[in-house]
Structure 1
Amino acid sequence: MLPNNQKSVSPVMVAIAFATVYIVWGSTYFFIQIAVHGIPPMLLGAARFFTAGLLLLGWCAIKGEKLFNRNNILHAAVSGILLLCVANGTVIWVEQTLPSAMVAIMVSSAPIWFVILDKPKWKDNFKNRSIVAGLLIGFTGVILLFGEQVAKSLGESNGQSKLGGMALLIVASIAWPSGSLYSKYRATQGSVMVNTAWQMLIAGIMFIPGMLLHHETEHLSWQKVPATSWFALIYLIVFGSIAAYSAYVWLLQVRSAAQVSTYAYVNPVIAVLLGIFFAREHISLLQIAGLVIILASVLLINLAKYQKEKQIKTE
């Protein structure tokens, strides 16, 4: 985003930031699965994002940044609800019944929705053959994934809940780019970190009505929550919601958006590997094929954007 910064930034810091976004965000699917086995989903979302938002807001206060701006908070609320409450909240809810690796694969189509929903860029995007080809290839992968799972779920006793979960994942895949694009085109004048803190804080608050509606705190035996679930929650707060997101925001300032967006086709691979090796989840060959096709489409879309950015810089 800021080409002039690219030469002055330490390559080691850039590599560390990319590694953080790649590995940590990819691992959050696995840790959500662990956490949700001991902590109810709405309570998990509230605790994770409210705590992370509060900690980040406190850090911004220590740095002397301006915390309260009505318009900035309102914009942060909209993007935070879409990104963290709807999109991430759906992932948390669905992982009660679906394996983390499968969830990661199914939401890997989100970058495709970025192109479809980015209306101001329609003229440029849909005139580019590589992007159009990437979209078509990507939806082929999505059909492979959902087609197999729908057919399989119809013959299972808990098939209805799995079908409902897959439908919700489509909503999550659309909500994430919707919130991101809203944030992009409704740019605020305040600090990026302050706005991020408000996004997480407000999203955490929005989980509370769902938590109360399902009586999650009343039915929960705190003494029986396993230590692994508490560890997973701490990991999600510190690494998933603070470290990785901060690294992501910083990378957007020192590297092109096309480069940074490569996280979209690395995260599912990390999630699948963790699910297979540590949670003993089973992934079919057709699911792997669908993942490869989707990742190829995202790579094709981003390659076209990267080449265009490179051409603009050389002119």
Structure 2
Amino acid sequence: MNGNGNKRNIAVLIAAFAAVYIFWGSTYLAIKYTIETLPPFLMAGARFAFAGSVLFLLARMSKEYEPPRAEHWRTSFIVGTFLLLGGNGAVVLAQHYISSSLSALLVATEPLWIVILSWLWLRNGRPNWKVIAGLLIGFVGVWLLITGQPETASGPGGRGQYIGTFAVILGALSWATGSIYGLKAPMPRSSIMAAGMQMIAGSVSLLVVGLLRGEHSTFDPATVSANSLFALLYLIIFGSLIGFTAYSWLLKNAQPAMVATYAYVNPVVAVLLGWGIAGESLTAQMLIAAFIIVVSVALITQSKTDGKNEPDLKSVNKTNGSGCDRPAFSTNA
């Protein structure tokens, strides 16, 4: 019995890691297909409204349910706006101009912003040498990414590519800001309830921006492709619902250092999928930059906490609870 139980637990553990690695890593490519024929902000708003409602209902039916208070909703709107409108919205918009691979690699800089904001905002003390090295290496990687885009960046669409690049960087900063804010703000005890509320609140911000941009007036349902619809369903089911459930389970059943590996595995998965399925081009400099960023994230996420000399990245992950494909730092989309 014990042998069978251990095998079953190992199988579940492998499945959970596979879900976080593959599903979250593939969300960038899925976004690429959804925005081909769907309005970006309205699509993202509808996606998180549905996924958030499902999570909220699941939390509502659990035995540990406690009614959310007004302060919980206030936190949800602030955090949800930074994470979903600022973070996810920037990625969705940017992928009109840049590849899903480049988006994923730029999003991988979120741990850099987490460390900087924790130091400056939360006054957690100066980061140790590993974190500082990770920051410096990471920014070198970002610079190589920005300057190493394919030659088409200098053509007619070049300006759009650079706009998309900096939009994702600002989105990563927005996601980090929302994550850090969530550390001190009141939230429900249930991570599923918190995720559902943040998704619902963030979806309102996304839908409002979509309406203000006039996306509804130019949207023609007849032009929506099957690829976009399937990609949207994939984002809702696998990216938000299954991916978040797997991540929540891993936080309770796996070593934090192992769980944190998704932060540098997701970009690799996204790059491989973008290249293999969508035929996205990558220059040698971009591949070198990708490796450098992965190394920098590994240094930051695996560095040991030394008193108050560095931010508690595990706490940022657990408190965030957004379930928006990624927690405090990801893969996101």
Q: Same fold (TM over 0.5)?
A: yes
Asked if residue 88 in structure 1 is aligned to residue 88 in structure 2, the reply is yes
Moved more, 14-23 or 270-279: 14-23
Q: Which residue of 2 aligns with 1:20?
A: 19
Partner SS state of residue 305, structure 1: coil
Contact 1:26 1:271 in 2 (8 A): yes
Q: Distance in 1 between matches of 2:170 and 2:93?
A: 12
Q: Which residue of structure 2 lines up, in the alignment, with residue 179 of structure 1?
A: 178
Q: Which residue of 1 aligns with 2:57?
A: 58
Q: Which residue of 2 aligns with 1:313?
A: none
Look up the equivalent residue of 1:102 and give its one-letter code: L
Distance 1:220 1:236, change over 3 A: same
1:118-267 paired onto structure 2 within 5 Å: 118-119=118-119, 120=122, 122-123=124-125, 126=127, 128-149=128-149, 153=153, 155-267=154-266
**Would the aligned equivalents of 2:150 and 2:282 in 1 still touch at CA under 8 Å?**
no
C-alpha RMSD of matched pairs (Å):
2.2
Please report how far the alpha carbon of residue 209 of structure 1 lies from its aligned counterpart in structure 2 after TM superposition.
1.8
Listed as ranges, the gaps of 5+ residues in structure 1 are 1-6, 309-315
SS at match of 1:118: helix
Instruction: Confirm or deny that 1:290 pairs with 2:298.
Output: no
Deviation of 1:240 (Å): 0.8
Segment of structure 1 superposing worse, 134-143 or 22-31: 134-143
Would the aligned equivalents of 1:67 and 1:194 in 2 still touch at CA under 8 Å? Answer: no
Q: TM-score, normalised by structure 1?
A: 0.88
CA 1:11/1:79 → structure 2, altered by over 3 Å: closer, same or farther?
A: farther
8 Å CA contact retained: 1:150, 1:163:
no
Q: Is the 8 A contact 1:72 1:190 kept in 2?
A: no
Contact 1:258 1:305 survives alignment (8 Å): no
C-alpha deviation, 1:188, in angstroms = 2.6
Q: Give the superposition deviation at 1:150.
A: 9.8
Structure 1 residues 39 and 203, CA gap change in structure 2 (3 angstroms): same
Q: 1:208, CA displacement in angstroms?
A: 1.6
Q: CA deviation at 1:266?
A: 0.5
Letter in 1 for 2:246: A
CA–CA distance in 1 between the matches of 2:223 and 2:24? 28
Inter-CA distance 149–282: structure 2 relative to 1 (3 Å threshold) = closer
Match of 1:3 in 2: none
Cα displacement string for residues 262-286 of structure 1 (whole angstroms, at most 9, x for unaligned residues): 1110011111111111101101110
Larger fraction in helix:
1
The answer to whether the Cα contact below 8 Å between 1:57 and 1:67 also exists between their aligned partners in 2 is no
In the TM superposition, 1:23-62 aligns within 5 A as 23-62=22-61
- What SS does the aligned partner of 1:167 have? helix
What 5-or-longer segments of structure 2 have no aligned partner? 1-5, 308-333
Amino acid aligned to 2:253:
V
TM-score of the pair, normalised by structure 2: 0.83
